[in-house]
Structure 1
Amino acid sequence: MNYYERENVTRVQKDHYLKINNRKELEISGVKEVDSFDNEEFLLETVMGYLVVRGQNLQLKNLDVGDGLVSIKGKIYELSYVDEQHQEKAKGFFSKLFK
């Protein structure tokens, strides 16, 4: 494997954006993992930390793990980031809820 091929293999999605349309559709880039979700709440690990999306009738519309893109539809009420100090606590809390 030459240097160019190695560079492409180890490239990681670093950009992170949120695009919300009329509080009904949400597109998110830079998603590393979808930790948990139901029709009222999503917990996503992004390149900028954990993101909690809360709403009503939330559905996973599209998931592209290769590009780190997630689309969610439903009524969006709240978007909030969990800071680095509380990431493990939040992950543990949400993991217990969704077992």
Structure 2
Amino acid sequence: MNEKKAVNSRQNVILENREKLSISGVEHVDNFNETSITLATVKGAMIIKGNELNISKLNLEDGNVTIEGIVNSITYTNKDLSKSKGSGLLGKMFK
């Protein structure tokens, strides 16, 4: 494994007061609404559930996402979202 690949497979999840969630290692946003956000990350699919959720910052080039709202849960799943990459947020916007 080369050094660049090792760096790109790292992920940080920082939750501040259950109101601000910063995530690195995000590959794409699969689905989102006020109560649920589904992300494909370097560590697997991630589902964030809560209330009044809003993606306040999104930089897929760097793999960083900031979510604001009340976070009730963060769950990793084994579901592979990479197959639906074209149907993510940007894919839906540019159809």
TM-score, normalization: structure 1? 0.73
> Which structure has more helix as a fraction of its residues?
1
Which of 15, 20, 25 is the equivalent residue of 2:15?
20
Which secondary structure does the structure 2 equivalent of 1:15 belong to? coil
Runs of 4+ in 1 over 3 A off after TM superposition: none
Match of 1:73 in 2: 68
Counterpart-to-counterpart distance in 1, 2:59 and 2:9: 15
Q: CA RMSD in A?
A: 2.3
Pair 1:46-2:41 in alignment: yes
* Structure 1 residue identity aligned to 2:76: Y
Matched residue pairs, number? Answer: 81
After superposition, what is the alpha-carbon deviation per residue over 1:32-61, rounded to whole angstroms, capped at 9, x for unaligned? 010010000000000000000000000001
TM-score, normalization: structure 2? 0.76
* Structure 2 residue identity aligned to 1:22: N
Structure 2 residues not aligned, in runs of 5+: 88-95
